[in-house]
Chain A
């Protein structure tokens, strides 16, 4: 304790370990009622019941990444093909098969492929960005059981106010409640 006292606390809070989904939902409701809005839920599967409760059903912004990535791909693909076509045909006089510099039907295929490619890349980027990945080890309240079969409700709060929160979670049906804090890594 005293050794770590020199480091600044990065995140501290109480985590309750649950087995049942409806218990989680209930605990979240209660916490919210008592003003603990900034909470997060660890879950082994994307439980729609929980997500509906915790993350309000507004859509993820990842979809805009998908859209604009795709559009960029279309434009880039056609532009690249046409640029090369004009460069080789018009400026270097390389006529092939009697076809014009911008042979639209052929170039559509390139455009299409790049649409998909950039669209997908952007989507992945969006996902990583918004999920704040990659993340280091120091996440308060996480435990291996959350990747197996337990749900965890984490309510950030400092040591002084931990007591009532722990009580709250226990009442909601947490199998186990613990206070954790992680420190900034130097």
Chain B
């Protein structure tokens, strides 16, 4: 355990902002290319029509909505770690929360694209917003899709502000050592923060309230997303456990994503003494919990389908597990509920290779979960006459999905080089205050 001092913390963390090497630029270039590809595919879709994607009747929602839910889910653990764990005073969150929070914001920015990509007439997206117009036309507040609009925009705004608030003192610290454009940028962004006592007082109080707002918000957002489905009458969608089930799932996938991002980050920016194995262990432990909750939800769905005696529900769930797409279902069960159980073994949850593989697979599994719920349920609803169970996943869809992943990573890469991905302030806070006399420690 090397002795950490305030100045050391400052140096080490700010060092991550130094001008990057070639590898970084190559990565950024590739990601940008990926984003461009996604853009091209979207253009094609707008030009030719939604038909270039794999959707059809009855499966009118497909990969896009799946990915939307996936990214919103990813966002959640960020807020969980930064807000909820803050309120619970979980000290171990300190070094990870900044990147988790950034991940939240970028995940929401990615998720936010998909409802637009998904629209048959994307160029009319603004009709979903309530704005006064001479035609006296307003959106329908009874539609879960509109709840989405509100939930997601709120979520984005709040978590962005939350992230920024936490950044202010760090930016100031960076400002005081930066030169050139960075200095100008930081000076602007730090709002002239000086770390005076008044500033700190209001800061702490504001931060506390943000945490307080973000906590119910994070629960509400994914509940609302889940209501997109529960509010409908599609067998396999219309279920009351979706809200908690989705929130748990969201956090599950989010934790996996945090690990997936932090392990390389730790290596890349040599943050070993801040991101200790302990922190990853905690995340892994949390994943066991969420994984079990998700597994429980899977079970309950089937139980209810059987217990309700509703033939439509039952047929849908039998089809889900044993139908033509059963393989997806079982894959999702293994990835989401099975693999996290490995973390019961300390040896495994301390092994970074295992951590990384499992969390990547959990991410895959969570995407599959949403796909199974959304697309597969639709293939098997009320009238057998319209059942149609073959999917045609098109290159346009693939391109857009890949593009969205690049977009997310690109944002994260850029962020990591401009703003500290580990909170300087909070790490310092975690250290013992420097005192003249050691005796003061005792009778404090």
Chain A interface, number of residues (Cβ within 8 angstroms): 68
Q: Does residue B103 face the partner (Cβ distance < 8 Å to A)?
A: no
Q: How far is the CA of A59 from the CA of B209 in the complex (A)?
A: 13
Contacts of B436 in A (CB 8 A): 20, 22-23, 173
- Residue-wise, chain B 409-444 has the 8 Å CB interface mask toward A (1 for contact) of 000000000000000010011000111110010000
Q: How far is the CA of A131 from the CA of B197 in the complex (A)?
A: 9
- Residue-wise, chain A 104-136 has the 8 Å CB interface mask toward B (1 for contact) of 001101101110110111011011101111111
Q: Does residue A139 face the partner (Cβ distance < 8 Å to B)?
A: yes
- Residue-wise, chain A 134-158 has the 8 Å CB interface mask toward B (1 for contact) of 1111010010101111000000000
Q: Does residue B141 face the partner (Cβ distance < 8 Å to A)?
A: yes
Contacts of B191 in A (CB 8 A): 128, 133-135
Q: How far is the CA of A70 from the CA of B138 in the complex (A)?
A: 24
Residue from B141, B193, B198, B425 whose CB has the most chain A CB atoms within 10 Å: B141
* Nearest residue, chain B, Cβ from A141: B194
The 8 Å CB contact of A46, one of B142, B217, B429, is: B429
- Name the distance in Å between A120's Cβ and chain B's nearest Cβ: 4
Contacts of B435 in A (CB 8 A): 20-22
- Name the distance in Å between B17's Cβ and chain A's nearest Cβ: 14
- Name the distance in Å between A148's Cβ and chain B's nearest Cβ: 5
Interface SS of chain B: helix, strand, loop or mixed? helix
- Beta-carbon contact of B158 and A117 below 8 Å: yes
Given A42-B195, A43-B197, A147-B172, A114 contacting B206 (CB threshold 8 A): no
Q: Does residue A40 face the partner (Cβ distance < 8 Å to B)?
A: yes
- Beta-carbon contact of A148 and B147 below 8 Å: no
- Beta-carbon contact of B195 and A51 below 8 Å: no
- Beta-carbon contact of B173 and A124 below 8 Å: no
- Beta-carbon contact of A97 and B158 below 8 Å: no
Q: How far is the CA of A130 from the CA of B434 in the complex (A)?
A: 29
Contacts of A81 in B (CB 8 A): 141
Given A22-B437, A114-B154, A43 contacting B195 (CB threshold 8 A): yes
Given A43-B195, A136-B192, A148-B173, A51 contacting B157 (CB threshold 8 A): no
Q: Does residue B47 face the partner (Cβ distance < 8 Å to A)?
A: no
Q: How far is the CA of A99 from the CA of B172 in the complex (A)?
A: 53
Contacts of A60 in B (CB 8 A): 201-202, 204-206
- Beta-carbon contact of B154 and A117 below 8 Å: yes
- Beta-carbon contact of A137 and B196 below 8 Å: no
- Beta-carbon contact of A66 and B194 below 8 Å: no
A-B contact count (CB 8 A): 196
Contacts of A55 in B (CB 8 A): 197-198, 200-201
Interface segment, one of B4-12, B118-126, B302-310, B377-385? B4-12
Q: Does residue A84 face the partner (Cβ distance < 8 Å to B)?
A: yes
The 8 Å CB contact of A84, one of B130, B204, B433, B434, is: B130
Interface SS of chain A: helix, strand, loop or mixed? helix
- Residue-wise, chain A 69-96 has the 8 Å CB interface mask toward B (1 for contact) of 0100000000011001101100010001
Q: How far is the CA of A84 from the CA of B136 in the complex (A)?
A: 10
- Beta-carbon contact of B192 and A109 below 8 Å: no
Q: How far is the CA of A132 from the CA of B191 in the complex (A)?
A: 10
The 8 Å CB contact of A120, one of B6, B205, B213, is: B213
Given A97-B142, A99-B142, A116-B158, A133 contacting B205 (CB threshold 8 A): no
Q: Does residue B176 face the partner (Cβ distance < 8 Å to A)?
A: yes
Q: How far is the CA of A70 from the CA of B209 in the complex (A)?
A: 11
Given A19-B434, A124-B165, A148-B7, A109 contacting B147 (CB threshold 8 A): yes
Q: How far is the CA of A23 from the CA of B436 in the complex (A)?
A: 7
- Beta-carbon contact of B158 and A137 below 8 Å: no
- Name the distance in Å between B204's Cβ and chain A's nearest Cβ: 6
- Name the distance in Å between A73's Cβ and chain B's nearest Cβ: 9
Given A133-B192, A173-B436, A144 contacting B210 (CB threshold 8 A): no
Q: Does residue A45 face the partner (Cβ distance < 8 Å to B)?
A: yes
Q: How far is the CA of A116 from the CA of B154 in the complex (A)?
A: 7
* Nearest residue, chain A, Cβ from B151: A113
- Beta-carbon contact of A45 and B213 below 8 Å: no
Q: How far is the CA of A41 from the CA of B198 in the complex (A)?
A: 9
The 8 Å CB contact of B206, one of A19, A21, A103, A123, is: A123
Having A109-B220, A109-B224, one finds 19 other A-B pairs with CB under 8 Å, namely: A21-B435, A22-B440, A45-B429, A46-B425, A55-B197, A60-B205, A84-B139, A84-B141, A85-B142, A112-B220, A113-B154, A117-B157, A119-B213, A133-B192, A135-B193, A137-B192, A139-B192, A146-B194, A148-B7
8 nearest CB pairs, A to B: A149-B6, A135-B192, A144-B176, A127-B206, A134-B191, A60-B205, A46-B200, A81-B141
21 of the cross-chain contacts (CB-CB < 8 Å) are A22-B436, A22-B437, A23-B436, A43-B196, A43-B200, A54-B197, A60-B201, A63-B205, A85-B142, A96-B142, A106-B147, A110-B146, A112-B220, A113-B224, A120-B157, A120-B214, A131-B199, A134-B192, A135-B193, A139-B194, A148-B7
**Which residues of chain A have a CB within 8 Å of any CB of chain B?**
19-23, 40-47, 49-51, 54-55, 59-60, 62-63, 66, 70, 80-81, 84-85, 87-88, 92, 96-97, 99, 103, 106-107, 109-110, 112-114, 116-117, 119-121, 123-124, 126-128, 130-137, 139, 142, 144, 146-149, 173
